[in-house]
Amino acid sequence: MTFIEKIYDLLKRHPKRIVFPEGDDPVVMKAAEEFARLKLGAPILLGNREVIRAKAAELGLALNHVRIIDPATSTELPLFTERMKKTTRYQAMKTEEVEKLIVNPNYFAAMMVQYSHADGIVGGNACTTASFLRPLMALIKPLPEVKILSSCMIFATSDKKIGDNGVMYFADCGIIPEPTVEELADIGLETAKLARQMSGLVPRVAYLGFGTKGSAKHKITEKMAAAAALCRKKADELAFKIEVDGELQIDAALDWETGQEKAPDSSVAGQANVLIFPDLNAGNIASKLLKIVSGADCYGHLILGLDRPAADITRGSTSEDILGLAALVGLRAVEYHKLYEDLY
Question: What is the three-class DSSP state of 216?
Answer: coil
pTM, 2 dp = 0.93
Torsion of CA 204, 206, 212, 213, to 10 degrees: -70
Q: What is the pLDDT of residue 193?
A: 94
Task: Classify 3-141 by CATH class.
Answer: alpha beta
The answer to whether 47 and 68 have CB atoms below 8 angstroms apart is: yes
Domain residue extents for the chain: 3-141, 150-293
| Tens digit of each residue's pLDDT (9 = 90 or more) over 268-280 | 999 999 999 999 9
Nearest in space to 129 (alpha carbons), one of 312, 284, 265? 312
343 has a pLDDT exceeding 60? no
Question: What is the three-class DSSP state of 54?
Answer: helix
**Rounded Cα distance, 201 and 195, in Å:** 8
**Rounded Cα distance, 202 and 191, in Å:** 12
257 has a pLDDT exceeding 90? yes
User: Taking all residues of the chain, what is their mean pLDDT, rounded to a whole number?
Assistant: 93
- Identical fold for domains 3-141 and 150-293, yes or no, is yes
Contacts of 294 (CB under 8 A, 6+ apart): 157, 158
Q: What is the pLDDT of residue 338?
A: 53
Percent helix, percent strand, percent coil in the chain, to nearest 5: 50, 15, 35
337 has a pLDDT exceeding 80? no
**Rounded Cα distance, 256 and 241, in Å:** 22
Q: What is the pLDDT of residue 126?
A: 87
| Tens digit of each residue's pLDDT (9 = 90 or more) over 119-168 | 999 999 988 888 999 999 999 988 887 889 999 999 999 999 999 999 99
Q: Which phi and psi (to 5°) does residue 176 adopt?
A: -95, 115
| Tens digit of each residue's pLDDT (9 = 90 or more) over 295-326 | 899 998 999 999 999 999 988 899 999 999 99
CA 119 vs CA 68, 75, 205: distances in Å: 16, 19, 28
Strand partners, 204: 243
Q: Which phi and psi (to 5°) does residue 336 adopt?
A: -55, -45
The burial class, CB within 10 Å (0-12 / 13-18 / 19+), for 246 is buried
Task: Classify 150-293 by CATH class.
Answer: alpha beta
Q: What is the pLDDT of residue 344?
A: 32
**Rounded Cα distance, 262 and 213, in Å:** 8
| Tens digit of each residue's pLDDT (9 = 90 or more) over 193-217 | 999 999 889 999 999 999 999 888 8
Nearest in space to 190 (alpha carbons), one of 171, 214, 167? 171
